[in-house]
Amino acid sequence: MASSVDFFYSHIFRCYSHFFTHISVRISGCYISGGRSLSNTSIIAPQPITPSFSGHQTFPFRYTWLKKGIDAVTEDSTVFSSENASVTLGVGKNMVDAIRHWCRASRLIEEGTGQPTQLIMQLNEQKTVYHRGQFAPTYLGSTIFGENGFDPYLDDPATLWLIHWQIATNTNQATAWYWAFNILRGNQFTPPIFAREVYKWARQQKQSMRPVSDNTLRRDVNCFIRTYCQSRHSDSVVEETFDCPLVELNLIAELPDGDGYEFQRGNKETLPIEVVAWTLDDFWKSRFSWRESLSFSDVMYAPSSPGRVFRLDEDTMTTYLENLEQLTDGALQYDETSGLKQVYRHKGLNQMELLERYYG
């Protein structure tokens, strides 16, 4: 059943994702194998994307990098274009570029556009205008990594889940990561097929994009794998190696024969319900903002949904949803009346309160 729903959402996404933001696509009576149908279902097509397969300089991010990036742009918004950036950050030039990339890919910093953006306005009451080449922490970046931040040194797995969410739902700065968790069907993949299929998908989203070399794609896919898989010959604790912190999430494992990789679907013991609620609200606002309810299939299988990005199974997701009403003081409620599995939104959800409640 899951594969059929995956195919449905992937097909709809491919067909309509090149349209403008907030174009509503209505599919009536679309048959899904297994005797189920999705009637009167509307999906907001995401913003047109600009695929990218570089910027990380082949480095997955490391434990101190995000904190370094947040601190640096807080002190100097132009730090990444400064001649002294390597000295300020204490790394080589390639790693300076990588730190900037990962802070942007995880949406913890934002580049100026000449206008005070919503994220920066939340952080800066004076509404300072940031221009191209200038960066400021986003609200989430400041909340977690700033002065008195909740978890600046990534001690809590909940923070890693939030960062994974931020990266895996970022179509522009982390195209391969987005594709892997939201578009790729099935649980297994090999690097060559991954590279071929993600590039094919990217060209479908933006036909005018410049050609990308096989070497660039191969390096990008390799970086993706090393973001989630521990180095094959490393017996050290993750913190003592150059492995990415997201390895701790155990989302992807190498197949025993060494010929490919497999997503680990199922219960995630370190994923707190507060993070699931936070990401559900984020998903709801970005994809279905006008709706007061979401189907279980939306929450489990739609691109950028918590079920898909966190690779949860249906039983685990059901357990999370059943506890939403108590967690959110009635703002969100899960109901299975008459066999219809729906999440209802009765009032707005305060994401900051969710984080405060968890990190406390």
- How many residues appear in the chain? 360
Which of 35-49, 110-124, 219-233, 310-324 is the most confident on average? 310-324
Q: In whole angstroms, give the CA distance from residue 271 to residue 252.
A: 16
51-101 pLDDT per residue, tens: 999 999 999 999 999 999 999 999 999 999 999 999 999 999 999 999 999
Beta carbons of 114 and 132 less than 8 angstroms apart: yes
Q: In whole angstroms, give the CA distance from residue 329 to residue 111.
A: 36
Structure token digits, residue 233: 């010959």
Topology of the domain covering 65-152: Arc Repressor Mutant, subunit A (1.10.10)
| Structure confidence at residue 23 (pLDDT) | 34
Structure token digits, residue 246: 């997201």
Structure token digits, residue 340: 């219809």
Residue entry with tokens 């999705």: 38
Structure token digits, residue 342: 């729906």
- Tell me, what amino acid is at 184? L
Average pLDDT, integer, range 33-40 = 28
| Structure confidence at residue 271 (pLDDT) | 99
pLDDT at 203 over 50: yes
Considering the four listed CATH numbers 1.10.10, 1.20.1260, 3.30.70, 1.10.3470, the one that applies to the domain covering 265-360 is 1.10.10
pLDDT at 40 over 90: no
Angle, CA of 322, 325 and 327, to the nearest 5°:
100
| Structure confidence at residue 340 (pLDDT) | 92
Mean pLDDT over the full length of the chain: 84
- Packing angle of the helix pair 273-287, 351-359 (nearest 10 deg): 170
Beta carbons of 248 and 160 less than 8 angstroms apart: yes
Average pLDDT, integer, range 248-274 = 97
Give the confidence band of 42 by pLDDT, cuts at 50, 70, 90. very low
Give the confidence band of 35 by pLDDT, cuts at 50, 70, 90. very low
Q: In whole angstroms, give the CA distance from residue 70 to residue 157.
A: 19
Give the confidence band of 123 by pLDDT, cuts at 50, 70, 90. low
| Structure confidence at residue 128 (pLDDT) | 62
Beta carbons of 52 and 172 less than 8 angstroms apart: yes
Cα 307 from chain centroid (whole Å): 12
pLDDT at 223 over 90: yes
Q: Poorest-confidence range of 61-65, 103-107, 131-135, 330-334?
A: 131-135
Give the confidence band of 120 by pLDDT, cuts at 50, 70, 90. low
Beta carbons of 264 and 253 less than 8 angstroms apart: yes
265-360 and 65-152 share a CATH fold: yes
Q: In whole angstroms, give the CA distance from residue 160 to residue 166.
A: 10
Q: Which residues contact 201 (CB under 8 A, 6 or more apart)?
A: 14, 179, 183
Q: In whole angstroms, give the CA distance from residue 166 to residue 162.
A: 6
Q: In whole angstroms, give the CA distance from residue 311 to residue 343.
A: 19
Give the confidence band of 116 by pLDDT, cuts at 50, 70, 90. low
Give the confidence band of 114 by pLDDT, cuts at 50, 70, 90. low
pTM across the whole model: 0.83
Domain regions of the chain by residue span: 1-48, 65-152, 166-262, 265-360
Beta carbons of 263 and 311 less than 8 angstroms apart: yes
280-311 pLDDT per residue, tens: 999 999 999 999 999 999 999 999 999 999 99
Residue ranges of alpha helices (H) inside the chain are 2-16, 65-75, 85-89, 93-105, 118-123, 139-145, 157-168, 175-182, 191-205, 214-228, 273-287, 296-301, 306-309, 314-322, 324-327, 351-359
Cα 22 from chain centroid (whole Å): 20
Q: Poorest-confidence range of 133-137, 214-218, 288-292?
A: 133-137
Sign of CA dihedral 209, 213, 215, 217: positive
| Structure confidence at residue 48 (pLDDT) | 80
Residue entry with tokens 């729906």: 342
